[in-house]
A = this chain, B = another copy of it.
């Protein structure tokens, strides 16, 4: 697969020993050759990691130059030393990039993300060596991009990348993204990280608005076990290297549409590769009174262990789905409830209907994606949510004693 990489970005992904697994890449650096606008969306956890506090204070911004990401340590619940370490990472990136690019990069032009074990101080001598090494390795092109996308992973089974080239306002624009999923280091907790890079010319305000909208249609609608991390961070960097003026009106709308589609593509890779997952479950809720209500319902179904373990077992146990929708705390018209699994109707207008359980079970077992379509009334609110099934391997991974 050839990726459509935005112009004017350099990448590196190196191994510096933050992760204990030998040879695993654990430090990623992404640098824009010119100042870029950057927008961010962050975890809504009240307990936030040091790098989240730092990035939140900097975005949206007009002068971003670099994103540094480490995996293996979340720098969360690390007190005042953690804050100092996140700032120190920016200093080190500024220093390394200024040297390798022969160009001045300032510490406050750097964004930081961390993922991994909670509550341990960062191994700063390793981080320092890693940032130096990454600064020297910075390169354009696909191998460096893939190295960078590997450096942010934890126990993800595979890398999560996507890219596209699109014509907006007569210009060829590129967007590339990388994400990490629900992995465990330590093992500890799932963190979602995502970097989206584009050579389109956007204002900081524009990029923030579009990123927030895209996140609400994609990354905010996925879950593995519903445990919001202290470190979730998604950043969009736009450096304008594609040329031309800032996108306005219909151009912005066209770009936003590409951005949203790309984010959904990337976001779905996370539950598809959830810990121990054997199925990607898509929950499509329609007929709710508002989009917010539809989101609440789809999220509640997605977080039901009973629904998730039924899918693991290939059990078309629709009572679990309907009852999960019922306790979401938003209005439901029970006499208009319709449910289909993989296109097979199981419940219609609030009454059970006859179906062939063996056929339904076989359909769940034979397809990697399980599609749950639930209509909850006569409203226009709709939402899609993606999650993974709850499997024996999920419990095995997460109950292993490693603290």
Contact = CB atoms under 8 A, between A and B. Distances in A.
Interface of A: 43-48, 74, 76-79, 117-120, 186, 188-190, 225-230, 303-306, 309-310, 312-320, 322-332, 334, 337, 347, 350-352, 357, 360-361, 390-392, 394-396, 398-403
Contacts of A323: 45, 47, 76, 118, 189, 227-230
Question: Which one of A305, A319, A401 has the highest number of Cβ atoms from chain B below 10 Å of its Cβ?
Answer: A319
Nearest to A74: B319
A40 B132 CA distance: 67
Contacts of A190: 306
Number of identical monomers bound together in the oligomeric complex: 2
Nearest to A318: B119
Contacts of A304: 225-227
8 contacts: A44-B327, A47-B323, A188-B320, A226-B304, A227-B324, A305-B390, A317-B403, A392-B396
Contacts of A309: 394-395, 398-399
A382 to B, nearest CB: 18
Interface of A is mostly: loop
A136 to B, nearest CB: 33
A365 to B, nearest CB: 9
B398 A306 contact: yes
Nearest to A328: B46
Of A45, A74, A391, most B-chain CB atoms within 10 Å = A45
B319 A77 contact: yes
Q: Which of A305, A357, A399 has the most CB of B within 10 A?
A: A399
Q: Which of the listed residues A120, A227, A330, A337 has the most CB atoms from chain B within 10 Å of its own CB?
A: A227
Nearest to A397: B309
Given A77-B319, A320-B188, A403-B361, A313 B118 contact: no
Question: Which residue among A79, A189, A190, A337 has the maximum number of chain B CB atoms within 10 Å of its CB?
Answer: A189
A43 B190 CA distance: 32
The 10 closest A-B pairs by CB, nearest first: A118-B319, A313-B399, A47-B326, A228-B327, A309-B398, A45-B326, A225-B305, A79-B351, A46-B326, A119-B352
A315 B400 contact: yes
A230 B322 CA distance: 9
A396 B313 CA distance: 9
A306 B189 contact: yes
B395 A327 contact: no
A395 B392 contact: yes
Contacts of A352: 77-79, 119-120
A324 B329 CA distance: 20
B119 A327 contact: no
Contacts of A396: 392
Contacts of A118: 319-320, 322-323
Given A118-B319, A225-B306, A323-B189, A312 B46 contact: no
A395 B312 contact: yes
Nearest to A400: B313
Contact of A77 (B186, B322, B394): B322
A395 B390 contact: yes
A188 B305 contact: no
Contacts of A402: 315
Nearest to A231: B323
Contacts of A119: 318-319, 347, 352
Contacts of A314: 401
B322 A47 contact: yes
B313 A79 contact: no
Contacts of A317: 186, 188, 403
A236 to B, nearest CB: 23
Contacts of A306: 189-190, 225, 227, 398
